[in-house]
Chains A and B, each alone.
Chain A
Amino acid sequence: MSKNTVSDRFRKVDVDEYDENKFVDEEEGGENQLGPDEAEVDSLIRQGNLMGALQAVLKSPPINTKNQNVKDRAEGLVLKVLSSFKSTDIEKGVQSLDKNGVDLLMKYIYKGFERPSENSSAVLLQWHEKALSAGGVGCIVRVLTARKTV
């Protein structure tokens, strides 16, 4: 065999990066998005105001930012709020959200499914059931087709 067939590094080259017709999403400035306010949400949970905590944690979602830490922190915070709800209150929590809120909640739920921890999936599945009856399948379709997500 000749020398230049020894290396197979060429197989790891991502050829799509060099395609001049490659589709690039439009840039929307999101560098200033910091996600929900941790201090505010924590204090609301401590006070027992779970509805308020839910509204607060769904404010200013880090959709446009490329900073992975901000997104992870936001997801952790949302999970904390969702887990602190009692099973019977989940339905009321979902009812208090508007259409966009339900869509956003569904995005966080699916993000949470991606990395399951201790008890997270069980809690998320209960929330998923209630969010599905409020938002319908259309809500899940929007999670799947969103180009920029939490």
Chain B
Amino acid sequence: MSYHSFLLEPISCHAWNKDRTQIALCPNNHEVHIYKKDGNNWSKIHVLKEHNGQVTGIDWAPESNRIVTCGTDRNAYVWTLKGDVWKPTLVILRINRAARCVKWSPKENKFAVGSGSRLISVCYFEQDNDWWVCKHIKKPIRSTILCLDWHPNNILLAAGSCDFKCRIFSAYIKEVEEKPAPTAWGSKMPFGEVMFESTGTSGWVHGVCFSDSGNRVAWASHDSTVAVAEGGKTAVCASLTSETLPLLCVTFITENSLVAAGHDCYPVLFVYDSNKAAMSFGGKLDVPKQSAQKGMTARERFQNLDKKATTDSKEAVLESVHKNSISQISILNGGKAQCAKFCTTGMDGGMAIWDVKTLESAMKDLKIV
């Protein structure tokens, strides 16, 4: 597991290229910086300046090597590499509030942008006009869309919103694709159709993720819960309340295991049992440094008792790798089916890369099913 501190400011969002040698991130301002790995260091090779507001979402399409960014200036840009320079193309989203998140679809012929205008813009390239065009999904969204994830069939889109619901919409665009085959979530999928709407959890939905097969969707909510729903004739929801601060991002690492991270600054494992339709807490995934146990002198004890009304010798220092909330988690190797490595970035400006095998051997009782 390695940790690299890029900045002192929070990293707003990040995205990796196909072979994981380059990372594009937003250093909490209007720009996107692309860093390239050389040896153990990272060097900044490109700076993408076009946005007029903070960049809130970045996604890097692995096959077509295009980057899409969206920001609080209500715009999205698609960047293509021409020679050694990234050239932007403006996409008109027709929104009147900030854009919050953006994701390429699996086939990279569409992307979806969630915004504060209480709608999702699904954009596709129109060959005749040589221009990106967008369609809106409005009903029944009542508040800002915070997070998006695509189903592997390139049609269904999961969206987590500030109106306390996680929904799965159909983003079928007849101009660019064929009619989809039926899935676990339903068979009729006209554009904008709600295939699933969550119940049971309250709190803003910060992070949403489809499993590798697309039959399960997980979401992390601001009321410190994480929930998984399985598609079927009637969707089955299982949620787990946690004793920690709210989680901000969640991802599947196998079909049954999820890793989530948030305001507690360390990633956490959850396991979903489909037979019992229940979730359980798998374990904390941070490896704390073994600090030398110092004995306390009597004088120190009295001082502690006087100052803090407790003789506890725990120092007020975070022992986790990240020193501030983790805001985004991304899979590096292995996909969502057999993830081998994942990466977290957070408000402390640092990026940590976690190796699943090392974590499994380091923590006893940690089983990733």
With A23-B142, A142-B224, A145-B223 already in contact, the answer to whether A137 and B202 are too (CB < 8 A) is no
Report A-chain residues with C-beta under 8 Å of the C-beta of B225.
142
Report B-chain residues with C-beta under 8 Å of the C-beta of A145.
202-203, 222-223
In the complex, what's the smallest C-beta–C-beta distance from A65 to chain B, in angstroms?
18
Q: How many residues of B contact A (CB 8 A)?
A: 17
What sequence of 0s and 1s flags, for each residue 279-306 of chain B, a beta carbon within 8 Å of any chain A beta carbon? 0000000000000000000000000000
Q: How many residues of A contact B (CB 8 A)?
A: 14
Secondary structure dominating the interface of A: helix
Report B-chain residues with C-beta under 8 Å of the C-beta of A99.
241
Report B-chain residues with C-beta under 8 Å of the C-beta of A103.
241
Q: Write the chain A residue with the least CB distance to B164.
A: A147
Report A-chain residues with C-beta under 8 Å of the C-beta of B340.
none
Report A-chain residues with C-beta under 8 Å of the C-beta of B118.
21
What sequence of 0s and 1s flags, for each residue 300-315 of chain B, a beta carbon within 8 Å of any chain A beta carbon? 0000000000000000
| A99 to B281 CA separation, bound complex (whole angstroms) | 14
Report A-chain residues with C-beta under 8 Å of the C-beta of B203.
145
Tell me, yes or no, whether B243 is within 8 Å of chain A by CB.
Answer: yes
In the complex, what's the smallest C-beta–C-beta distance from B33 to chain A, in angstroms?
34
Evaluate contact between A142 and B243: CB separation under 8 angstroms: no
With A23-B163, A146-B223 already in contact, the answer to whether A141 and B143 are too (CB < 8 A) is no
Evaluate contact between A141 and B245: CB separation under 8 angstroms: yes
Evaluate contact between B245 and A137: CB separation under 8 angstroms: yes
Evaluate contact between B243 and A138: CB separation under 8 angstroms: yes
Secondary structure dominating the interface of B: loop
Tell me, yes or no, whether B65 is within 8 Å of chain A by CB.
Answer: no
Q: Write the chain A residue with the least CB distance to B203.
A: A145
Tell me, yes or no, whether A135 is within 8 Å of chain B by CB.
Answer: yes
Tell me, yes or no, whether A136 is within 8 Å of chain B by CB.
Answer: yes
What sequence of 0s and 1s flags, for each residue 122-150 of chain A, a beta carbon within 8 Å of any chain B beta carbon? 00000000000001111101100111000
Report B-chain residues with C-beta under 8 Å of the C-beta of A138.
224, 241-245
Tell me, yes or no, whether B246 is within 8 Å of chain A by CB.
Answer: yes
Evaluate contact between B143 and A142: CB separation under 8 angstroms: no
In the complex, what's the smallest C-beta–C-beta distance from A105 to chain B, in angstroms?
14
Q: Write the chain A residue with the least CB distance to B264.
A: A137
Q: Write the chain B residue with the least CB distance to A133.
A: B243
Evaluate contact between A147 and B202: CB separation under 8 angstroms: yes
Evaluate contact between B143 and A23: CB separation under 8 angstroms: yes
Tell me the chain B residues, 88-132 only, with Cβ under 8 Å from chain A.
Answer: 118
What sequence of 0s and 1s flags, for each residue 16-33 of chain A, a beta carbon within 8 Å of any chain B beta carbon? 000001010000000000
Report B-chain residues with C-beta under 8 Å of the C-beta of A136.
242-244
| A52 to B142 CA separation, bound complex (whole angstroms) | 43
| A135 to B143 CA separation, bound complex (whole angstroms) | 30
Tell me the chain B residues, 162-191 only, with Cβ under 8 Å from chain A.
Answer: 163-164
| A9 to B312 CA separation, bound complex (whole angstroms) | 57
Q: Chain A residues in contact with chain B, CB under 8 A?
A: 21, 23, 99, 103, 135-139, 141-142, 145-147
A-B contact pairs, 14 of them (CB 8 A): A99-B241, A103-B241, A137-B224, A137-B243, A137-B244, A137-B245, A138-B241, A141-B222, A141-B246, A142-B223, A142-B224, A142-B241, A145-B223, A147-B202
Shortest 3 CB-CB distances between A and B: which pairs? Answer: A136-B243, A138-B224, A145-B223
